[in-house]
Amino acid sequence: MHKTIEPSILYFGTPVALISSLNEDGAANLAPMSSAWWLGWSCMLGLGSMGQTSENLIRTRQCVINLPSQHEVSRVDRLALTTGRNPVPEKKQSWGYRYEADKFGIAGFTPVPSVEVLPPRVAECPVQMEGIVHDCRPFGKNVSANCFEVHIVKLHMDESLLVGDGPRPHIDPEKWRPLIMSFCRFFGRGEEVHPSRLAESDFMKFVRNGTGSPPTANPPIGSAETRT
């Protein structure tokens, strides 16, 4: 039996990301968020328009999308209810937000220089994606937010999460433990629940090794074929 309901958010569960960006004075800002998904080497980010990160991405068009694992959860939680925007917008003040100039510092994260963009990476995050904002537009029906299409220009991966030592190593999903936010609460990842026919298909062999049947008419969306 199903029931139709109207909850205020549809936050079913997505990975937590920490977005580093540069403020107008050149200082680094770091914002936890979780409205993020990927297609090929592009990422879509949903960010509230009152936040400093939204403003920074519109102005500089650069960011790093850092993915913490579930082990970094207490550091991530220290960033909750903080903003790099000064003064804090009234609405956010009423929700309990405070201004923080040094988000890396309060969370105990270490900034390290990026290769292709100016905002720093977060050393403690196993995944660090340097990105260029390709497009941005207002998003949403009942939120004041922007969506950003970010093209990944450099990917840094913790070596312990990789399989294969050839020229194109891959990320081992058995080792990668993303931190997930679902309805504003933190979760880790469970065990694999079923073999995947897609993962075992010729298409994925092609994606991984460049061998097997080449993909034809309709490759799965988000595959390597969509990379430019």
Chain contacts with ligand FMN (rule: CB under 6 A): 16, 29, 31-35, 46-48, 51-53, 79-80, 83-85, 181
For the bound state, the minimum distance from the C-beta of residue 42 to ligand FMN, rounded and expressed in Å, comes to 17
Among residues 80 and 115, whose Cβ is nearest to ligand FMN? 80
| E runs forming strands in the chain | 14-15, 17-22, 28-33, 36-39, 42-48, 62-67, 82-83, 98-99, 111-112, 121-122, 127-139, 145-157, 162-163, 170-171, 180-182, 185-187
Among residues 126 and 203, whose Cβ is nearest to ligand FMN? 126
Tokens representing 14 are 């997505």
Q: How many other CB atoms are found less than 10 A from the CB of residue 106?
A: 14
Among residues 179 and 204, whose Cβ is nearest to ligand FMN? 179
Return the sign of the alpha-carbon dihedral for residues 148, 150, 156, 160.
positive
* CB distance 105 to 120 below 8 Å: no
Among candidate residues 111, 156, 154, the one with its CA nearest the CA of residue 131? 154
For the bound state, the minimum distance from the C-beta of residue 106 to ligand FMN, rounded and expressed in Å, comes to 12
Side-chain-facing half-sphere of 79: CA atoms under 13 Å: 25
Among residues 19 and 204, whose Cβ is nearest to ligand FMN? 19
Tokens representing 32 are 């936890």
First-to-final CA distance of the chain: 45
For the bound state, the minimum distance from the C-beta of residue 79 to ligand FMN, rounded and expressed in Å, comes to 6
For the bound state, the minimum distance from the C-beta of residue 123 to ligand FMN, rounded and expressed in Å, comes to 19
For the bound state, the minimum distance from the C-beta of residue 182 to ligand FMN, rounded and expressed in Å, comes to 10
For the bound state, the minimum distance from the C-beta of residue 80 to ligand FMN, rounded and expressed in Å, comes to 4
Among residues 176 and 186, whose Cβ is nearest to ligand FMN? 186
Among residues 27 and 39, whose Cβ is nearest to ligand FMN? 27
